[in-house]
Amino acid sequence: MKIGFIGLGNMATAIIGGMLRDEVVVQGSPLTAADIIGSAKTEATRTAQAEAFGIATTASNREVAAAADILVLAVKPVFFPEVIAEIRDAVDDDTLVVSIAAGLTLERIAALFGRDTNAMRLIRCMPNTPALVNAGCTAVCPGPGAAEADEAACVSLMESFGRAIVIPERLMDAASAVAGSSPAFVFMFIEALADGAVEAGMPRAQAYEFAASAVAGSAQLVLETGRHPGDLKDMVCSPGGTTIEGVKALEVRAFRAAAMEAVEACVAKARTL
Ligand SMILES: NC(=O)C1=CN([C@@H]2O[C@H](COP(=O)(O)OP(=O)(O)OC[C@H]3O[C@@H](n4cnc5c(N)ncnc54)[C@H](OP(=O)(O)O)[C@@H]3O)[C@@H](O)[C@H]2O)C=CC1
Ligand SMILES: O=C(O)[C@@H]1CCC=N1
């Protein structure tokens, strides 16, 4: 089983790092660095990722496409037309093509290959960078030409570095925002919480450790208990206590509306890609 990556940037390397961190079994055999081949635009990236992961790299996208059983398209959406034009006759009917691009529909990608979605083994995925530490959450949307075994292979690959959730295509832009992009918002939140603690006198490194641990622990509490986030918030707010003062400060600044608008902005942008 060969997995090919066209594009070895932030997201592809988070996936590769996640896959190689623990032993992943794909279709009965353990996946190793020797099973991965990738291409990137610049020599600097190819050398850096070959050294970081021990994977094979090449300047030729066609070589990756021809070698891969599962081909992950991990370039920016704007480069899809030129990359697919370059590789399309090197991708045969046996290749499972996985796109991780935001916004690009199954129909659009299949059209770039000059094929119909029914006649192509094509799956859209929306991963996120916590994949790098086995805490990813990937939306998986199989095209109509993908077999059940393709979906299962893709889900087990994505589960090798976190959760994988199968969703219909109409929800992919929302998933792109709430899973793909939201880590950026969460990192901003962690940074801001830590800045507040630094302002109150805490050393910077300790502030990041407290803020990140509190965010990770709170997320785990939501996932493991299944309780409503509002209930869990209420549990923290002692009557007449300190937390409710902080909650009010966030409400005054329209914190929740700002978070909703961030998701809406990502969805709106995805629809233009
Ligand atoms: N970053 C994220 O958190 C997420 C990203 N995505 C999706 O992943 C995709 C990649 O994003 P991201 O990793 O952030 O982008 P990066 O800019 O970090 O990486 C893009 C990669 O594509 C390579 N590349 C550019 N042009 C070509 C080409 N013609 N042939 C081969 N390789 C090429 C670049 O090479 P070089 O390094 O040499 O310039 C680079 O390695 C996008 O479609 C995005 O929507 C999805 C979910 C989350
Ligand atoms: O910013 C982007 O376009 C990509 C898609 C989701 C996360 N990063």
263 vs 178: CA distance, rounded Å: 6
- Please report the pLDDT score of residue 29 as a whole number: 76
CATH of 3-167, one of 3.40.630.30, 3.40.50.2300, 3.40.50.720, 3.40.30.10: 3.40.50.720
121 vs 106: CA distance, rounded Å: 10
Q: What is the pLDDT along the chain (273 residues), one digit of tens a residue?
A: 899 999 999 999 989 988 898 777 776 778 899 999 999 999 999 999 999 999 999 999 999 999 999 999 999 999 999 999 999 999 988 999 999 999 999 999 999 999 999 999 999 999 999 998 999 999 999 999 999 999 999 998 899 899 999 999 999 999 999 999 999 999 999 999 999 999 999 999 999 999 999 999 999 999 999 999 999 999 999 999 999 999 999 999 999 999 999 999 999 999 999
35 vs 33: CA distance, rounded Å: 5
61 touches ligand 1 (CB under 6 Å): yes
Closest-CA residue to 127 (of 25, 265, 10, 22): 10
The CATH T-level fold of domain 175-270 is ProC C-terminal domain-like fold (1.10.3730)
Pocket around ligand 2: residues whose beta carbon is below 6 Å from it? 102, 176, 180-181
102 touches ligand 1 (CB under 6 Å): yes
What residues contact residue 154 under an 8 Å CB cut-off, 6+ apart?
70, 96, 98, 123, 125, 140, 142, 146, 164
Q: Where in the chain is the domain with CATH 3.40.50.720?
A: 3-167
Pocket probe for ligand 2: among 100, 181, 185, the residue whose CB has the most ligand atoms within 8 Å is 181
ipTM value for the complex? 0.98
Q: Where in the chain is the domain with CATH 1.10.3730.10?
A: 175-270
Closest-CA residue to 99 (of 111, 54, 267, 130): 111
Question: Model-level pTM greater than 0.90?
Answer: yes
Dist. CA 153 → ligand 2 center (Å): 24
